[in-house]
Amino acid sequence: MSKLYVLKYGGKTIATPSLIKKRAKYISSLYQQGHKVIVVVSAMGDTTDNLYSLANQISDKPTTRELDVLLTSGERISMALMTIALQEEGCDAISFTGSQAGILTHGSHSTSYIKEIKPIRVEDELKKNKIIVIAGFQGVDPTSKDITTLGRGGSDTTALALANYFKTDNCFILKDVDGVYDKDPAQNIDAKKINLISTEQLKEITLWGAKLCHYKAAEQAHNSNQSYYIGSADNPNENTFIQTSNPKAQIMTAWDCVVEFTPNTQVDSFLKNYDLIKLPSTNNHSYWAGEKKLLTSLQKDVLDKYKVNFKFGTSKTFHFAESLTPSMSNNAFYKSGPITSVFEHL
């Protein structure tokens, strides 16, 4: 039976022409099986950073409007190259920018939201049995007619919005990892893969800074009851299913405890040697998160060496679930959380 797939490829997964050709072979295999495919692409590799750098070499304060015009060129390069690669595979494919695909936005330049989708041309070309390749991260403001961007990671938002419009759960956010883990698998050999979680849980994880999916995209998917997958670009069958309603799914994570103490640079330096993370603070206290067993074992050493007492609690005790935002996390991947207690109310 023919299905509609929405495949989103992150920048690292299409960073080179050879990688683009590799992805095109997989997309072609779905197409040859009789499925319909919409592909959403990010800019290749470090293209967005390089474009920012070019703008900053010319101006210390480039306007957000012109930045949007500049940055969206990265995704347009990707969509054209992917379409050419698909055509080389013998597929009938066509590319569209965000505006051509009917992605209508509202809000400020660089941080706009998707207001509505009117994918008239996409629907027409799907009826002609073409693969559609869409530049992610961008749309058009229907009032000003300006190109706008959806913020970093906005291609996730594009893909999930399209999947919701076309009513398909076969939406895959494809990355260089094969799903959701309780900790960064690149940094922790004991990291455990999670095969199934809810959209609510994924939204909370991204709020804490996990770079699995754009936060606005995760929030949008949860609010619109959109299920999807996060998986490996090399093998999309290796993935985590993000389900709209799954109250029994629980994240097994080591981050189950938070300690609070009076700021002390020596204690901070000592704790950095362990599998712990210092949380951002809006007051004059220091907060560290990690496994309760580990923090308990370190409590005596900290007291004996530095005369500092730990106050134990959870993220709820110290209200971190309310205070943290994605912009407050500068740590890579999962290292800004998540903490189990964030999910206690699910």
Q: With DSSP H G I counted as helix, E B as strand and the rest as coil, what are the percentages for the chain, rounded to 5?
A: 35, 20, 40
Whether residue 122 contacts residue 101, with contact meaning beta carbons closer than 8 Å, is answered with yes
Per-residue pLDDT band at 328 (split at 50, 70, 90): very low
Task: Note the pLDDT tens digit of each residue in 70-81.
Answer: 999 999 999 999
Asked whether residue 330 carries a pLDDT value surpassing 60, the answer given is no
Q: What's the CA gap between 306 and 286, in Å, rounded? A: 14
| CA neighbor of 20 nearest in space, from 70, 87, 65, 73 | 87
Exposure of 63 by Cβ count < 10 A (0-12 exposed, 13-18 middle, 19+ buried)? Answer: exposed
Q: Which span out of 159-173, 185-199, 205-219, 331-345 was modeled with the highest average pLDDT?
A: 159-173
* pLDDT at residue 80, rounded to an integer: 98
Residue 82 Cα distances to 16, 23, 176, angstroms: 11, 8, 18
% of residues, the chain, pLDDT over 90? 64
- Which residue has tokens 């291609």? 155
Q: What's the CA gap between 337 and 330, in Å, rounded? A: 12
E-assigned strand segments in the chain: 4-9, 36-41, 93-96, 103-106, 113-117, 131-135, 138-140, 147-149, 171-175, 180-181, 193-194, 196-198, 228-232, 239-243, 257-261, 277-279, 286-290, 311-313
Q: What's the CA gap between 281 and 52, in Å, rounded? A: 30
* pLDDT at residue 318, rounded to an integer: 53
Asked whether residue 324 carries a pLDDT value surpassing 60, the answer given is no
* pLDDT at residue 289, rounded to an integer: 82
| Whole-structure pTM value | 0.74
The amino acid at residue 274 is: Y
Give the mean pLDDT of 321-329. 34
* pLDDT at residue 171, rounded to an integer: 98
Q: What's the CA gap between 185 and 192, in Å, rounded? A: 8
Report residue 114 as tokens.
Answer: 């998707």
The more confidently predicted of residues 334 and 40 is 40
* pLDDT at residue 316, rounded to an integer: 54
The more confidently predicted of residues 78 and 288 is 78
Q: Where are the domains of the chain?
A: 4-176, 257-343
Task: Note the pLDDT tens digit of each residue in 223-255.
Answer: 999 999 999 999 999 999 999 965 444 444 445
Count how many Cα atoms sit within 13 Å of the Cα of residue 136 in the half-sphere of its side chain.
31
* pLDDT at residue 317, rounded to an integer: 54
* Paired strand residues for 141: none
The amino acid at residue 77 is: I
* pLDDT at residue 31, rounded to an integer: 98
| CA neighbor of 312 nearest in space, from 335, 296, 323, 298 | 296
Asked whether residue 298 carries a pLDDT value surpassing 60, the answer given is yes
Asked whether residue 57 carries a pLDDT value surpassing 60, the answer given is yes
Exposure of 131 by Cβ count < 10 A (0-12 exposed, 13-18 middle, 19+ buried)? Answer: buried
- Which residue has tokens 């209508």? 104
Task: Note the pLDDT tens digit of each residue in 85-137.
Answer: 999 999 999 999 999 999 999 989 998 999 999 999 999 999 999 999 999 99
Per-residue pLDDT band at 343 (split at 50, 70, 90): very low
- 4-176 domain in CATH 1.10.760.10? no
Report residue 287 as tokens.
Answer: 């907060």
Report residue 22 as tokens.
Answer: 């590799």
* pLDDT at residue 314, rounded to an integer: 67
Question: If you average pLDDT over every residue of the chain, what do you get?
Answer: 86
